Amino acid sequence: MSPASPSPASRPRWVLDTNVVLDLYMFEEPSLQPLARVLAEGRAVALANSATLDELARVLAYPQFKVDEARQAVIHARYAALVERQADGLEAPPLPQCRDRDDQKFIELAVTAQADWLLSKDKLVLKMARRRGSLGDLRILAPLSALALLEAEPTKVQPGTAP
């Protein structure tokens, strides 16, 4: 880590839903590459567990993406090497339920791992942002909103702060 990088304890902790991971590492969406750089440079840490990594592997194999097995493996390995693995099976406190049950795992991971941000493009997950009080300090953001916060006040985007 470079001297300008924050210490591991002070780095913002993010949970990325599968669609955000796909945008960053499969589609390499140009508008979101600054988020990928923040993660690659260690200025923030992505959090994952077996359930979220398993979903990524499953989605990468969707036929509509036409991604061969070798590239699927490379994308999955690249992301898995980047994340801080969280323990599986941690019991989340009572949480509001997302109407899309497949996305509940990201909310539970973010809360149990004490993430600062949950980055999602899913409308049902983004609606959960209104329930912030019941999600502790977790902020649920669309990737472009997170990017705007990073660009507006990069030094204030730290754990426990609300830019």
The pLDDT confidence band at residue 134, using thresholds 50, 70 and 90, is: low
Whether the Cβ atoms of residue 45 and residue 84 lie closer than 8 Å to each other: yes
Whether the Cβ atoms of residue 86 and residue 49 lie closer than 8 Å to each other: yes
Whether the Cβ atoms of residue 100 and residue 123 lie closer than 8 Å to each other: no
pLDDT at 84: 97
Residue 161 pLDDT greater than 70, yes or no: no
Tokens at residue 43, please?
């200025």
Distance CA 144, CA 66 (A): 26
Distance CA 138, CA 120 (A): 13
User: Burial level of 53, CB count in 10 A (0-12/13-18/19+)?
Assistant: middle
Which whole number is the average pLDDT over 34-57?
96
pLDDT at 1: 42
Distance CA 56, CA 9 (A): 26
| CB contact set of 117 (below 8 Å; sequence gap of 6+) | 12, 13, 14, 15, 110, 138, 139, 140, 141, 146
Query: How far is Cα of residue 123 from the mean position of the Cα atoms in its chain?
Result: 15
The share of the chain scoring above pLDDT 70, in percent, equals 83
Element (H, E) at 117: strand 117-119
Between residues 90 and 111, the one the model is more confident about: 111
